[in-house]
A and B are shown apart, each in its own frame.
Chain A
Amino acid sequence: MESFFLFKRGILPRLLPHFLGNGNLRLSSLVVVLFCLIQLFGTIRSYSSETEFFVVPPVAFSSDYFPCSECHKDLEANPEKRNLHQHTEIVYKDHAEDERWCLDCHDPADRDKLLLTTGEKVGFDASHKICWQCHGSLHNDWQHGIHGKRIGNWDGRKQYYLCAACHNPHTPAFRPITPEPPPVAPEKTLKRRDK
């Protein structure tokens, strides 16, 4: 079943989660590039769409908040479900809030990291691994580029948008946006010269 979701060609895609998992994005991308070069010269490829894999960092935190440990280092972790007085911007809603609370994903010890159920810590730039724990199927879709947004080159270096780029992890439903104006109706386009 696994092969259905994984790329059938090239070793790189199979290794990708490992690179993504180490939390050091720059290093991982460097390794990726090196691997690509090895692949480029080491294997005969008829298609080039597997060469590069690149992740866009999630929404940039403002310096008011990040790094989180600045404030949280002196605060004791409170696992109680409650209204957040400080983080009024965070509303945890419509995301299984009865079952989970902040510290299920945020590492109580190191507030600059996220915590997987395995106990592994990941950075915010690999937040998709948190999502993966429940949304495995969607995550696979995302990995293969059929869910989520990618930009760049269709046959080469492309950038994946992390889950959190589109879905606020605390209220993950897609936020409604203002649409661009509708087209001009043909009746209103009329530019009669003879009027």
Chain B
Amino acid sequence: MNQPFSRRKFLKLTGAGLGSSFLGGCGNGFDWESFFQKNFQEMTSAEKNRVVQRLEKKYSGHYGMPVSVSATPARENTVFGYGLDLSLCVGCRRCVYACVKENNISRDVQIHYIRVVKMAESERNLEKADHYYSPAKVPEHGSYYMPIQCQQCDNPPCVKVCPVKALWQESDGIVAIDYDWCIGCRDCMAACPYRAMKFNWRTPHIPKNEINGETHFLGNRPRVRGVVEKCHLCIQRVREGRYPACVEICPAGARKFGNLLDPASEIRMALNHFRTFKLKEELNTQPKFFYFFSLG
């Protein structure tokens, strides 16, 4: 029997193929230091600095441009809240693509953190929603538009189900992911009632000239295939005091953002002033993302 021979030959071939592809990851080759990198939550600040520096070097080399990676921690007395004015949203999807650009999100296979659905004015059932509307002009008469993204739950099911603590809630309320710790089991995708979790089905492809070089470890730094990601309220911007990209791009001013602990913040004003609702409130996920109709 020549089975042992063919088996050995086969193992050699497949072993090499498997090994390289198995460990290859980003395409930058395999390095043990990143393989044995700790969970971000368990790193000391010295370790964080070292990892951040290593990543900056790696990304800058890979994209041929300076890429900064910050690990700015959450501010004290800050919990972010987000408001979305359904009266004003015109469904133009500017936010979707601004988000893609800001956050270095995979173009192919396409990932969108924000999904805007169109519904008839009288409709509240998402099953009747149109995800792929494409008229010449928006808004269309008789419809309203509902952008849906990570709701930054205070009782997040994704964090609960993650088997490896790759997901957690930061003290400023942002549900963060350590992309280097995620094993890609996708339990969070099944657990999320808002379909906020996105999976990198292949190595994310981002044109080099479209890279946003200002990144955060828990935010828009380049990802590898096989890990989940989702809206993090542009952590790289909001931790520096700036508005998220979707807020700034919105031509209708339908997006409100601010510190829930600050009674004078825009989000608190909106909560005081309008009757807000939370999406799928009955599931007790306690979103910090509020919808309201400011007009009518």
Query: Does B241 reach chain A (CB closer than 8 Å)?
Result: yes
Query: Does B138 reach chain A (CB closer than 8 Å)?
Result: yes
Q: Quick one: given A47-B262, A179-B134, are A151 and B269 in contact (CB under 8 Å)?
A: no
Complex Cα distance, B90 from A146, in Å, reads: 16
Contact flags (1/0) for B221-256 with A, using CB distance below 8 Å? 000000000000000001001110001101111001
- Would you call A166 and B136 a contact (CB within 8 A)? no
Q: Quick one: given A141-B294, A144-B269, are A182 and B132 in contact (CB under 8 Å)?
A: yes
B251 CB contact (under 8 Å) in A49, A152, A156, A166 = A166
Complex Cα distance, B133 from A181, in Å, reads: 9
Instruction: Tell me which residues from 76 to 104 in chain B have a Cβ below 8 Å from any Cβ of chain A.
Output: 77, 83, 85, 88, 90-94, 96-97
Query: Does A183 reach chain B (CB closer than 8 Å)?
Result: yes
Query: Does B273 reach chain A (CB closer than 8 Å)?
Result: yes
Number of interface residues of A (CB under 8 A): 38
- Would you call B132 and A178 a contact (CB within 8 A)? no
Interface size, B (range): 35 or more
- Would you call A146 and B264 a contact (CB within 8 A)? no
- Would you call A144 and B273 a contact (CB within 8 A)? yes
Query: Does B115 reach chain A (CB closer than 8 Å)?
Result: yes
Instruction: Tell me which residues from 160 to 181 in chain A have a Cβ below 8 Å from any Cβ of chain B.
Output: 161, 166, 174, 176-181
- Would you call B110 and A184 a contact (CB within 8 A)? yes
Give, as a whole number of angstroms, the nearest-CB distance from A139 to chain B: 13
What residues of chain A have their CB less than 8 Å away from a CB belonging to chain B? 4, 7-9, 46-47, 49-50, 141, 144-156, 158, 161, 166, 174, 176-185, 189, 191
What residues of chain B have their CB less than 8 Å away from a CB belonging to chain A? 77, 83, 85, 88, 90-94, 96-97, 109-110, 112, 115, 131-139, 202, 238, 241-243, 247-248, 250-253, 256-259, 261-266, 269-270, 272-274, 294
